[in-house]
Amino acid sequence: MASLELVDITTACSRRGYLNTVGVVVDVLPPCRTKGSSVCVTFTLKDCHFDQPSWYGGLKVKYFNDSMDALPNAQLNDVVLLRKIRINMFNDKPTGVASQHDLVQWAIFRSEPDPSSSPSITTGPVPFPLKSLEKQAALMLLDKTATGTPATMGQPARQEAVPQPSQVVQASMTTANKKSGLPLELIQDVQPGPFVQILGQVVKTKTYDSEKCIMYLTDYTSNGSLMDIKKDDEDEMGTEGDTYDYLSRRMKNWPGPWGKMTIQVTLWEPHATFARTHVKDGQLVLLTYTRIKHGYNGGIEAAVHQDKQFSNKIHLQIISNDDHRARDLMERRKEYWRIHGKPSDDPKKASRKNKNEQKKKEEKIEEGQKPLSLPAPGKNTNKHIKTRSYEVPPRSIDYILSGASHINSIPGGITYQLPFQNVCYRTTVRVVDFFPPKLEDFAVQVPMESILAGDDNHAPTSTPRMEWEWRFCLLVEGTEPLRSKNEVRAQMKLFVTGAEAVHLLSLDPTNLRLHSTRLGELREKLFILWGDLEELKQQHATITGTEEYWAPAKTSSLPFMCCIKEYGVPCTHPLDPDDMALDEPGTPGCTIPDCFGWERRFTMFGTTIHS
């Protein structure tokens, strides 16, 4: 394959496919972890239009790789050369994408603090020699940054379009209301429809997205169409598919206010860049050209798009707390926190403070009272294990095993007990043992079920087809505090089979004695579930030279939330030969009291291990 020619940024933005290009870094975001296994770094390259905002006329580049060392460590004013970068359209804008599977070579040219020193040159992911034309083009761009850096030489021009924080207060009073003519609305009054202005306090911002910025705004008025945010008093597990808690009504480290007082605002360029640079949590801002719309998950949200007539105009202004327009807002804020306690400027500090207060309360134990034993081995739950979203309240292992719901009363004072119920639970457990003792036996061969099995005209053959199926059992225990040191935790056997086992492991069953790769994948998955439990059992078997039952007293496994089904199977207890009802199916005939001919069992479902 012939080598690609080196093209400028403008040409690169007009083409599609693979090409070589070079430019100056005018904007860069820190590396972030994707939903998969890769890490992504995003930066913008330019070779002209340095007097315009960073997003104007530049090529945005997204570089993905599993290894941080393979990513280009680009900084502002560096010159970056890219070989065989693929240009695609993303959000109607040309974007250079280097995927995990593409070999995109990069070179970074960086000026040294000493003007007499030669610039440093770094190449990667694997070092390679540069062509003379490539080096010459990069050094020419680097020379432009010597007297006036591209990332800063455009500031005078940008000040006209992007007001600085110190200028906002004076400018907003004369232009915000008169020039736009849009009504200034309270959050309690906004609804999907025309554009409005909103004045509020920034509760929180999310700047991880390179295309936009998410801002949460409140003016301490309530709107029934907003999400009801509750206090983060409990450490609950999220549900599968809800990574950012969009569906949850609890927001971690949320500083307040709570309730339906906060609206989500999506800021697009150029407003997103201004917000990342100048806006901080807790400040007052005025959105002068805001669109209210229906949210993706119901309710309402706001958005500030690029002005189609004045593309560089910023519709986001920082307002002083002493501004006359903020007088009513500050009064509402003061009254709210007078009722709900003192606000916290730093959510993380607030979270630490709450934990310290809770710790002090636990230390205040009455004289003669013994402290409760905490769940072992750790306080945190396993975040790699997720459950489906079920509207079932969490229950403890003790509650489930007690079978309190099995006892029923009917009119006439008659009380009876059910042997089992077909019900579902959600509970937090920790694995303490498993069966079979060898992972190679976790998959077994079973006859393949046929859709013709019930057809009399298609009798089963003498040698049915066989297939592999997951079939194993976990011994789990609860994580609730014990009332005394002598108390023993309740334990439960959880059977894991069939499709639910595939859902748990995300692996198809096979002959594990022949497929060592699948056995290794299974071992890695189960290590997430039960920690070093298998290793400790293997060490004990090696030391003692026996395979007798043994379970370690302490492992590195973490508690996790799981879904459990209760069901019943015919009992296997010894039968009473004198029982006259043995010939009638479904009637009790065993020697165990309160058996009713059924055994109560539990199986795991709707739970997944995420690597």
Residue-wise pLDDT for 485-510, tens only, equals: 778 888 999 999 998 999 999 999 99
Q: Are 381 and 560 in contact (CB under 8 A)?
A: yes
Is the model's pLDDT at 238 over the cut of 50? no
Which pLDDT band, with edges at 50, 70 and 90, does 116 fall under? confident
Instruction: Report the pLDDT value the prediction gives residue 591, as an integer from 0 to 100.
Output: 61
Is the model's pLDDT at 571 over the cut of 90? no
Element (H, E) at 349: helix 347-363
The domain made up of 385-449+464-579+587-609 is a member of CATH 2.60.40? no
Instruction: Report the pLDDT value the prediction gives residue 38, as an integer from 0 to 100.
Output: 85
Question: How many C-beta neighbours within 10 Å does residue 254 have?
Answer: 20
Quote the CA–CA distance of 481 and 489 in Å, as a whole number: 9
Instruction: Characterise 136 by phi-psi region: left (phi > 0), alpha (psi -120 to 50), beta (else).
Output: alpha
- Look at strands 414-417 and 284-294 and give their pairing: unpaired
Kindly state the DSSP code that residue 269 receives in the 8-state scheme: T
Q: What is the CA radius of gyration of the chain?
A: 32
Q: What is the pLDDT of residues 138-172, one digit of tens each?
A: 998 888 776 554 544 333 333 333 333 333 333 33
Instruction: Report the pLDDT value the prediction gives residue 264, as an integer from 0 to 100.
Output: 93
Instruction: Report the pLDDT value the prediction gives residue 176, as an integer from 0 to 100.
Output: 38
Closest by CA position to 218, among listed 233, 204, 232: 204
Quote the CA–CA distance of 384 and 529 in Å, as a whole number: 8
Is the model's pLDDT at 97 over the cut of 70? yes
Lowest model confidence (mean pLDDT) among 207-211, 342-346, 503-507, 569-573: 342-346
Quote the CA–CA distance of 102 and 124 in Å, as a whole number: 13
Is the model's pLDDT at 556 over the cut of 80? yes
Which pLDDT band, with edges at 50, 70 and 90, does 196 fall under? very high
pTM above 0.85, yes or no: no
Instruction: Tell me phi and psi for residue 239, to 5 degrees.
Output: -95, 160
Is the model's pLDDT at 578 over the cut of 60? no
Q: Would you state the structure tokens that stand for residue 544, as one six-digit string?
A: 């003692």
Quote the CA–CA distance of 445 and 452 in Å, as a whole number: 20
Q: What is the pLDDT of residues 509-547, one digit of tens each?
A: 999 999 999 999 999 999 999 988 888 888 888 888 776
Which pLDDT band, with edges at 50, 70 and 90, does 298 fall under? confident
The answer for residues whose C-beta is within 8 angstroms of residue 187's C-beta and 6 or more apart is 198, 200, 217, 218, 219, 221, 222, 223, 226, 261, 263
Bond preceding residue 257 cis, omega within 30 of 0: yes
582-586: average pLDDT: 45
Quote the CA–CA distance of 509 and 502 in Å, as a whole number: 8
Is the model's pLDDT at 440 over the cut of 60? yes
Bond preceding residue 377 cis, omega within 30 of 0: yes
Is the model's pLDDT at 13 over the cut of 70? yes
Instruction: Report the pLDDT value the prediction gives residue 542, as an integer from 0 to 100.
Output: 81
Quote the CA–CA distance of 525 and 505 in Å, as a whole number: 7
Across 235-239, 481-485, 567-571, 584-588, which has the greatest mean pLDDT? 567-571
331-338: average pLDDT: 88
Quote the CA–CA distance of 284 and 282 in Å, as a whole number: 7
Quote the CA–CA distance of 555 and 559 in Å, as a whole number: 11
Instruction: Report the pLDDT value the prediction gives residue 449, as an integer from 0 to 100.
Output: 64
What is residue 375's three-state secondary structure? coil
Instruction: Report the pLDDT value the prediction gives residue 529, as an integer from 0 to 100.
Output: 92
Residue count of the chain, please give it.
611
Quote the CA–CA distance of 401 and 151 in Å, as a whole number: 66
Closest by CA position to 504, among listed 391, 422, 386, 397: 386
Q: What is the pLDDT of residues 382-437, one digit of tens each?
A: 888 988 767 677 888 888 888 777 777 777 777 777 888 888 888 999 999 999 98
308-336: average pLDDT: 88
Quote the CA–CA distance of 530 and 552 in Å, as a whole number: 12
Is the model's pLDDT at 365 over the cut of 70? no
Kindly state the DSSP code that residue 83 receives in the 8-state scheme: E
End-to-end Cα, the chain, rounded Å: 38
Is the model's pLDDT at 563 over the cut of 80? yes
Instruction: Report the pLDDT value the prediction gives residue 15, as an integer from 0 to 100.
Output: 85
Report which residue type is found at 386: K
Q: Give start-end residues of each CATH 2.40.50.140 domain in the chain.
A: 6-146, 184-228+255-340
Higher-confidence residue of 29 and 452: namely 29
Instruction: Report the pLDDT value the prediction gives residue 341, as an integer from 0 to 100.
Output: 74
The answer for residues whose C-beta is within 8 angstroms of residue 484's C-beta and 6 or more apart is 370, 373
Quote the CA–CA distance of 505 and 501 in Å, as a whole number: 6
Which pLDDT band, with edges at 50, 70 and 90, does 573 fall under? low
Instruction: Report the pLDDT value the prediction gives residue 225, as an integer from 0 to 100.
Output: 87
Is the model's pLDDT at 74 over the cut of 70? yes
Q: Which CATH superfamily is domain 6-146 in?
A: Nucleic acid-binding proteins (2.40.50.140)
Q: What is the 3-state secondary structure (H, E, C) of 240-260?
A: CCCCCCCCCCECCCCCCCCEC
Question: How many C-beta neighbours within 10 Å does residue 175 have?
Answer: 13
Closest by CA position to 179, among listed 188, 171, 169, 187: 171
Domain 184-228+255-340 CATH class label? mainly beta
Quote the CA–CA distance of 509 and 107 in Å, as a whole number: 46
